[in-house]
Amino acid sequence: MDNTATLDAKIVDFIARGLGHDDEIRFNELALQVFALQYANIAPYREYCNGKGVSPGNIDDWRLIPAVPSAAFRSHALASFPLERAVQSNLTSGTTGRKNRGKVYRDQGALDLIMQANGMLTRGYLFPDVERMKIMLMVPSPKMAPSMGMAIGLEQVRKQFGTPESAFLISPLGLDVNALLRAIRQAEVSGEPLALIGATSCFIYFFQACRQEDIRFRLPPGSRICDGGGYVGQFGEWTKEEFVAACTRVFSVPASHCVNVLGMAESSTNYFDNVLRNHLAGKMAPRGKESPPWTRTLVVHPETLQPLPVGEIGLLRHYDLTNRAMILGVQTDNVGVATAQGFDILGRWSKDKGGHVITYSGGMPSSKIFTTLTDYLMNRRITNLAGKYEKAKKGLQP
Amino acid sequence: MTAKNPEKISDAMVGHSQPCTCGTIIDEMLVNGMDEDCKIQPLRQEDIPTGETGDGSPAPARARD
């Protein structure tokens, strides 16, 4: 077993201990080992660290490990392993157009870590009360979008938590509104809970169409919604509260069952809202993201990049052991705040908009690719939603 | 590990990223398109949105290619 495989095995063991511990000492040990591996194998990162006077030999605290800016994944292929061993590459952010978009690479060991970690989180935060349920996925399948992290991840969710009739709703044919309406109607008639998972902008798109035609549904108790991708788009700027209210108004799904997830290519772990987990456990706590034991999130000042006290708003910096294949610490441009249980994301910070713009929009801010999606969808609005729903109702009489 | 270009990683990069993108969905959808009934309707050249997309690139790159 080589050094990387040995390290992976240690991280696997750490993740396998579950969500209910906070072993700071072991996290620190593993973080320093991951840092040493990445420092040794990723030359531009080593140069970046050397510029800060940091090397594996002169620090003993994970907080001192340099975190690379998200934009570095655009300019560099940051992999701790030879790229010929890559089994997966996901597109990530770019700044000047899709041709300049970056990629993150993963080898098999890293992929196994990520699947283990995110499978545990999905179970803990989205499906803690059921083994499997019908899931309709408002994203393309990985066959259609092989480099899309959300598609790849949700295929695992479908396999691990979905019933056989679970399906992706976006195909090369477009968004299958009829299939969505049939699934909703089937749930209404059967009383079997339904999970709707997808891009936030797709939900907003659908909500807009429902509002125009004053259509509402009554999904059965236990149904849940999971969205990711941001509330700001071509359809207008939605707050997190407005989005949750729309889920309740349109689908009759209570706020406790509306789970936002933050996922990004640069940080392998998915960060879920705690609401459903807490609701089922009878725990009262504010909605927010919980940091699992194999991650840490700091909030730093946007100019000095120094950590801020708990409660102050700044940029989110994630340290993630499942990032073994790339860089442990990632300095994002997401604006957020540390909370007792983890953090919450509030918006996005940019130097490109003529200054330091902070948007407090809630959830992961709009991705430009989804802006393109909404641009496109707006030209092809869902029409005659009521007629389609009536057709679904006739096909599925109680 | 292979560097794509010689630009050094620096703290100056902070504030210059785009949100994480769930990538090829748009390219694929724009290539294949859908009509008002959300059925298959291959996208025609004249249907392609013009002007700048959100990420600053003309849309849609792949469709034009």
Is a pLDDT exceeding 90 seen at residue A160? yes
Count of other CB atoms within 10 angstroms of residue A337: 17
Least confident of A158-167, A199-208, A259-268, B34-43: B34-43
What is the C-alpha to C-alpha distance for residues A32 and A29, in angstroms, rounded to an integer?
Answer: 5
Q: Where residue A206 falls among pLDDT bands split at 50, 70, 90?
A: confident
Most confident among A17-26, A74-83, A332-341 (mean pLDDT)? A17-26
Please, what's the largest Cα pairwise distance for chain A? 70
B37 contacts B4 by C-beta, under 8 angstroms:
no
Q: What is the mean pLDDT of residues A255-281?
A: 92
Is a pLDDT exceeding 90 seen at residue A322? yes
Q: Which backbone phi and psi does B58 adopt, to 5 degrees?
A: -60, 145
In the block, residue with structure tokens 């009829």: A178
What are the domain boundaries of chain A?
Answer: 113-293+364-395
Is a pLDDT exceeding 80 seen at residue B26? no
pLDDT in tens, A93-137: 443 344 455 677 888 899 899 999 999 999 999 999 999 999 999
The pLDDT of residue A237 is 64
Q: Are strands A224-228 and A167-171 parallel, antiparallel or unpaired?
A: unpaired
User: If we measure between CA atoms, which residue out of A131, A38, A100, A48 comes closest to residue A327?
Assistant: A38
Q: Where residue A172 falls among pLDDT bands split at 50, 70, 90?
A: low
State pTM to two decimals. 0.81
Q: Which of B4, B18, B27 is facing A93, going by the closest CB pair?
A: B18
Q: Which of B23, B35, B54 is facing A371, going by the closest CB pair?
A: B54
Chain A residue with minimum CA distance to B54: A368
CA A152 to chain centroid, in Å, comes to 12
pLDDT in tens, A78-91: 888 888 788 777 66
Instruction: Identify the residue with better confidence: A351 or A107.
Output: A107
The pLDDT of residue A362 is 35
Contact at CB, A146 and B27, closer than 8 angstroms = no
**Averaged confidence pLDDT in chain A:** 84
Structure-token pair, residue A282: 């009878």
CB of A210 within 8 Å of a chain B CB? The answer is no
Length of chain A in residues, anyone? 398
Query: What's the fold here for domain A113-293+364-395?
Result: Rossmann fold (3.40.50)
Q: How far is B59 from chain A (nearest CA, A)?
A: 8
Instruction: Identify the residue with better confidence: B43 or A22.
Output: A22
Q: Which of A97, A146, A383 is facing B36, going by the closest CB pair?
A: A383
CB of A350 within 8 Å of a chain B CB? The answer is yes
CA A79 to chain centroid, in Å, comes to 21
Contact at CB, A140 and B61, closer than 8 angstroms = no
Q: Where residue B63 falls among pLDDT bands split at 50, 70, 90?
A: very low
Chain B residue with minimum CA distance to A367: B19
A148 contacts A142 by C-beta, under 8 angstroms:
yes
Chosen from B2, B8, B25 to mutate, greatest number of chain A CBs within 10 A: B25
Q: Are strands A329-338 and A68-69 parallel, antiparallel or unpaired?
A: parallel
Least confident of A23-37, A130-144, A165-179, A249-263: A165-179
Chain A residue with minimum CA distance to B29: A172
Is a pLDDT exceeding 70 seen at residue A304? yes
pLDDT in tens, A222-232: 999 998 866 54
Q: How far is A49 from chain B (nearest CA, A)?
A: 9
Q: Which backbone phi and psi does A167 adopt, to 5 degrees?
A: -155, 155
A207 contacts A377 by C-beta, under 8 angstroms:
no
A187 contact partners, CB below 8 Å, separation of at least 6: A134, A193, A194, A219, A220, A223
Residue type, A366: S
Structure-token pair, residue A240: 């997190």
Contact at CB, A375 and B30, closer than 8 angstroms = no
Contact at CB, B17 and A264, closer than 8 angstroms = no
Chosen from A369, A371, A373, A381 to mutate, greatest number of chain B CBs within 10 A: A369
Q: Where residue A369 falls among pLDDT bands split at 50, 70, 90?
A: very low
Coil vs helix vs strand at A232: strand
The pLDDT of residue A173 is 58
> Could you report the predicted ipTM of this complex, rounded to two decimals?
0.75
The pLDDT of residue A120 is 96
A201 contacts A233 by C-beta, under 8 angstroms:
yes
What is the C-alpha to C-alpha distance for residues A333 and A365, in angstroms, rounded to an integer?
Answer: 10
User: If we measure between CA atoms, which residue out of A2, A72, A4, A61 comes closest to residue A34?
Assistant: A4
CB of B35 within 8 Å of a chain A CB? The answer is yes
The pLDDT of residue A49 is 97
User: How many beta-carbon contacts under 8 Å exist across A and B?
Assistant: 234
The pLDDT of residue A40 is 95
Q: What is the mean pLDDT of residues A341-358?
A: 68
Structure-token pair, residue A15: 């993740």
pLDDT over 70 percentage in chain A = 83
Q: How far is A173 from chain B (nearest CA, A)?
A: 5
Chosen from A68, A76, A106 to mutate, greatest number of chain B CBs within 10 A: A76
The pLDDT of residue A381 is 52
A315 contacts B14 by C-beta, under 8 angstroms:
yes
Q: What is the mean pLDDT of residues A278-297?
A: 94
The pLDDT of residue A21 is 93
> How many Å from the N-terminal Cα to the C-terminal Cα in chain B?
30
The pLDDT of residue A101 is 53
Structure-token pair, residue A118: 């995110």
Interface of A with B in 44-103 (CB under 8 A): 44-45, 47-48, 51, 68-72, 74-83, 90-99, 101
Least confident of A154-163, A378-387, B34-43: B34-43
Q: Which of B18, B23, B61 is facing A147, going by the closest CB pair?
A: B23
Residue type, A309: P
Which DSSP string do the residues of B14-40 spell out, in sequence order? TT-PPPP--TTHHHHHHHH-B-TTSSB
Q: Where residue B18 falls among pLDDT bands split at 50, 70, 90?
A: low
Is a pLDDT exceeding 80 seen at residue A298? yes
Q: Following CA atoms A281, A284, A288, A291 in sequence, which dihedral angle do they give, to the nearest 10 degrees? A: -50
The pLDDT of residue A145 is 64
Length of chain B in residues, anyone? 65
Interface of A with B in 284-343 (CB under 8 A): 302, 305, 315, 331-334
Which residues in A lie closer than 8 A to residue B9 (C-beta atoms)? 44-45, 47-48, 68-69, 72, 75-76
In order of A199, A201, A208, A326, the CA distances from A238 in angstroms are 14, 10, 11, 33
CB of B47 within 8 Å of a chain A CB? The answer is yes
Long-range CB pairs of A389-394, under 8 A, 24+ apart, other chains included: A389/A181, A389/A184, A389/A185, A389/A215, A391/A178, A391/A181, A392/A178, A392/A181, A392/A182, A392/A184, A392/A185, A393/A185
Is a pLDDT exceeding 90 seen at residue A9? yes
